[in-house]
Amino acid sequence: MPKKLDWIISGWALLAGILTFLIVLATTVNTAAFGADKIARMFGENVSGLSGYEDFVRLVISAAALMFFPYCQRQKGHVAVDLFAEQFSIQTQDVIESITLILTIIIALFLAYWMTLGMISAYEDFASSPILGWPNWPFYIPGVVSLLLWALVAAMQLSTKKGRQ
């Protein structure tokens, strides 16, 4: 795997981790506000939660979730059926891995294509979050990039595999 691609994938996963941290932070603050509101109501007061919390979490998680996939593929951290595959010969295991990599590339590119169409549709429809009013289409971009990176990593792994055979 080229060092630059490895660096991009690691940075992409780190950014996803930061987004996930922001989701956890917003959830913590919103939960604390809910608890504080219960106490404040006993004294005739109220504490409101974060306005647009649900919008924020929905949009950011839609971006962050797919951003881990390329890193996971690079680490070969995806689901593998090693329980029965390890009983096969090395050649059979290599064929299964090649087929899996090819299917991964096809699926990732297929999803990237449809996600791009969804992004264009969201842009043309002026789709936005109900509370915050943020446009939805920019949150598709990390997903499309993630799917393309995922396919690229799988393709690099496949080409490296072919080079060894």
Q: What is the pTM of this model?
A: 0.86
Q: What was the pLDDT predicted at 88?
A: 85
Q: What was the pLDDT predicted at 81?
A: 61
Q: What was the pLDDT predicted at 62?
A: 92
- Provide the residue type at 50 as one letter: L
CB 51 within 8 A of CB 14: no
| Nearest-angstrom CA–CA distance, 150 and 105 | 8
Per-residue pLDDT of the chain (165 residues; tens, 9 = 90+): 789 999 999 999 999 999 999 999 999 999 998 888 888 888 888 888 888 999 999 999 999 999 999 999 999 876 666 667 778 888 988 898 899 999 999 999 999 999 999 999 999 999 999 999 999 999 999 999 999 999 999 999 999 876 665
For residue 79, count other CB atoms closer than 10 A to its CB: 6
Q: What was the pLDDT predicted at 118?
A: 97
- Provide the residue type at 63 as one letter: A
